[in-house]
Structure formats: C-alpha cells, structure tokens
Amino acid sequence: MQRESFFEMVYEVVRLIPRGRVTSYGAIARFLGSGKSARMVGYALNGAWRKDDIPAHRVVNRLGVLTGKHHFPGSFAMEQLLEEEGIQVKEDRIVDFEARFWDPQKELNQQL
DNA sequence: TCCATGACATCCA
DNA sequence: CTGGATGCCATGG
C-alpha cells in the first residue's frame, strides 16, 4: 500500500534536483518505475506549484523546453528562476540541455 | 466501473 | 516547423 500518492514520490525526486541542473518528466517516470508514464509526472507537477518546496522549474520535457511555464503561478517566470540558478534559457529552451541534464536514475545510483 | 483529463514521449504526414 | 494519432496510467467525477 502506497502511503504517499504518486505525486509525493515525484515531489521527492524533484526536491533532490541539484541547483543549476534540470531533468525531464520521462527521466523521473523511469526512475519511479518503468511502468510509470511521463504524463503522470507532469500531472503531479501540476500540483507542485502549490508547494514552494518543489523547484518545478527544473523539470522540463525531453527536449529541454519549458512546456510548463504556462502553468506557473504568474509572478515568477520559469526562465527567470532558471537563469537565477545559472541556467541559460533561449526561446523557452534550456541551453546545453544535455550538459545540464540530471538523471535521477543515474546520479542517485552513484550516491547510493 | 466507465469516462475524461493531463506541465509527456514517439511516430508519422 | 506544425498537427494528428497512439501509448502510457493516476486521479476525479
């Protein structure tokens, strides 16, 4: 029995994303389980904005596009938050996405 | 239980 | 580049 919802699991992973790094919905989905779908991650992040602990701006789609910037509370732009951490954003896309990419499955596995 | 929705991922035209 | 279709599956009505 899952004590936390799928959302909570996603939130935990997002919280672990290092500053100045980004990850994709699909990566998180694979990390949680091959059976999960990236859609669920996006769906979960949809409720993340309610929690100020969740750096949802570090989560983008597989192309590094800020697909969810439209869903942000409004005051703060996704790009602004990203550049604040040293991440360059150009045309709603993350510059050097591959270099900035943070794979939970890989990175966390090293530490564990 | 069925139906609709969704911040995705892939494939194809 | 755009747009449509399909797969994926948790959540809510």
What end-to-end distance do the CA atoms of chain A give, in Å?
24
pLDDT over threshold 80, residue A46: yes
Distance A37 CA to B2 C1' (A): 21
Confidence at A33, pLDDT banded by 50, 70, 90: confident
CB of A7 within 7 Å of some strand C atom = yes
Residues whose beta carbon sits under 7 Å from strand B = A 24-26, 37-43, 45-46, 48-49, 56-57, 59, 61-63, 67-72, 78
DSSP conformational letter for A4? S
User: SS3 helix, strand, coil % of chain A, rounded to 5?
Assistant: 50, 10, 40
Q: Is A36 left (phi over 0), alpha (psi -120 to 50) or beta?
A: beta
pLDDT at A94: 95
Question: What would the two tokens of residue A54 be?
Answer: 């969740």
pLDDT of residue A111: 59
What pLDDT is recorded for position A2? 62
Question: How much of chain A, in percent, has pLDDT values that exceed 90?
Answer: 69
Enter the pTM of the model. 0.90
Tokens standing for residue A80: 């602004």
